[in-house]
Amino acid sequence: MTPIVRRHLFGPGPTNPYPEATEGLARPLLGHLDPAFIAIMDETCDRLREAWGTTNARTLPLSATGSAGMEAAFVNTVTPGDVVVVAVNGLFGQRMCEVARRCGAEVIPVEHRWGTPVDPERVVAAHPSPRVVAAVHAETSTGVRSDIAALGAAVHAAGDALLVVDAVTSIGGLELRADDWGIDVGYAGTQKCLGVAPGLAPFTINDRAFARRVERPQSWYLDLGLLGGYVGEAGAKGGGRTYHHTAPVAMISSLHAGLGRVLDEGLDNVWARHAAAGQALQDGLEAMGLELFAEKGSRLPDLTTVKVPDGVDSAAVRRTMLERYDIEIGAGVGEFAGSVWRIGLMGPNARPDAVTLVLGALAEVLAR
């Protein structure tokens, strides 16, 4: 029998899950219409509202990974010919452009140098009256955090565009306040700071955006008008629960449990723990003489990008980290594939032991 492999997942995600999340996966399976499961689904949506910082009735885990959350955001808000302004400062901004184009949007990308945050002024200046403005809160490809509060204020001061935000690598790890910041539509993933396996897309949409949604989106699977009934949406459907598709019961039970762990610790404490771990890692890398990639002042705590030193074989280092220490770290993306590493300390890995381990192992490998 093949031995079971266990890894320290210090890459850009997935992270190692919280033990509670793993336990939730393996519980006896429930039917998707069982009252016992419906109670779990309802509570999961409540917990997601807390994690998002929202009171949006329409907050739910979509039954696919974070990238499907992106698709859901656009298919439900964009029809052919609509103008969509996308702040692009990394791979996921680029992907937003592609997904919006497949909805027939006229996309206006606002390009930023990779490693820098989104500039709200440039984004707002790109078009006088777009239907949607979209940006990534935490760019997984570059390790950069953008100021969504400032972007939201600028977008809403300029007109009535909907603000779509990617919070895949921020939810559960750093401050996220969807309502206060003016996020109209948000999507995320489970496999980063929430400390749950990949497979669901936590999603939220406010009343304003829902009222302006596409009536019959090109995607049936991601049609939010149908999905409201699926989660037993209280407001619009009178509390009735209708069958849409079979909920991924085990994954939702796991998300329920992982969110319980995060909220028991308290969001402020969780954010502080991620901030402390990220700072310790970044300080340690600089103390080793390495140079960070993301611009100072806009570095993510949960995902650190560091330049590969000249003359070092990036892939060989990652391979040794994996084979000798069972540690996964990530390569860079796009033109930085071979010149940047991405080190994530997310969820249960945002802890001093993980900082010490990854710094120690990296120092040993670089000294070999």
The alpha-carbon radius of gyration of the chain (Å, integer) is: 20
Q: How far is the C-alpha of 50 from the C-alpha of 28, rounded, in Å?
A: 27
Name every residue whose Cβ is closer than 8 Å to that of residue 151 and which is 6 or more positions away in sequence: 87, 118, 120, 123, 133, 135, 163, 181
Compare residues 81 and 289 and give the one whose CB is closer to a second copy.
Answer: 81
1 makes contact with a second copy (CB under 8 A): no
Residues numbered 219-248 forming contacts with a second copy, rule: CB under 8 A? 219-221, 244-248
**Applying CB under 8 A, which of residues 250, 263, 363, 366 lies at the interface with a second copy?**
250
Query: Which 117-176 positions form the footprint of a second copy (CB under 8 A)?
Result: none
> To the nearest whole angstrom, how small is the minimum distance from the Cβ of residue 134 to a second copy?
14
Q: Which two tokens stand for residue 353?
A: 């032991």
Cα–Cα nearest to 176, from 209, 131, 146, 213: 146
Q: Measured from the CB atom, is 7 or 208 closer to a second copy?
A: 7
Helix (H, G, I), strand (E, B) or coil at 91: helix
User: How is residue 64 written in tokens?
Assistant: 């696919």
Task: Pick between residue 93 and residue 217 the one whose CB is nearest to a second copy.
Answer: 217
> Under 8 Å CB-to-CB from 302, ≥6 apart: which residues?
138, 169, 170, 173, 174, 192, 193, 274, 277, 278, 344, 345, 346, 350
Pairing type for strands 8-9 and 132-136 reads unpaired
Contact 176, 170 (CB under 8 A): yes
Closer residue to a second copy (CB): 93 or 199? 199
Q: Does 97 bind a second copy (CB under 8 A)?
A: no
Residues 6+ apart with CB under 8 A from 221: 63, 64, 245
Query: Contact between 34 and a second copy (CB under 8 A)?
Result: yes
With contacts defined by CB under 8 A, name the span among 67-75, 117-125, 151-159, 286-294 that binds a second copy: 67-75
Binding status of residue 211 toward a second copy by CB under 8 A: no
Q: Which stretch binds a second copy (CB under 8 A): 62-70, 108-116, 129-137, 149-157?
A: 62-70
Pick the binder of a second copy from 267, 328, 355, 365 (CB under 8 A).
328
Let me know: does 206 contact 56? Beta carbons within 8 Å: yes
Q: Is 189 in the site for a second copy (CB under 8 A)?
A: yes
Instruction: Find the binder of a second copy among 20, 30, 308, 320 (CB under 8 A).
Output: 30
- Decide: is 324 part of the binding site for a second copy (CB under 8 A): no
| Interface ranges with a second copy (CB under 8 A) | 4-7, 9, 11, 13-14, 16-17, 22-23, 25-36, 63-68, 71, 95, 98-99, 102-103, 189, 191, 197-199, 216-221, 244-251, 254, 322, 328
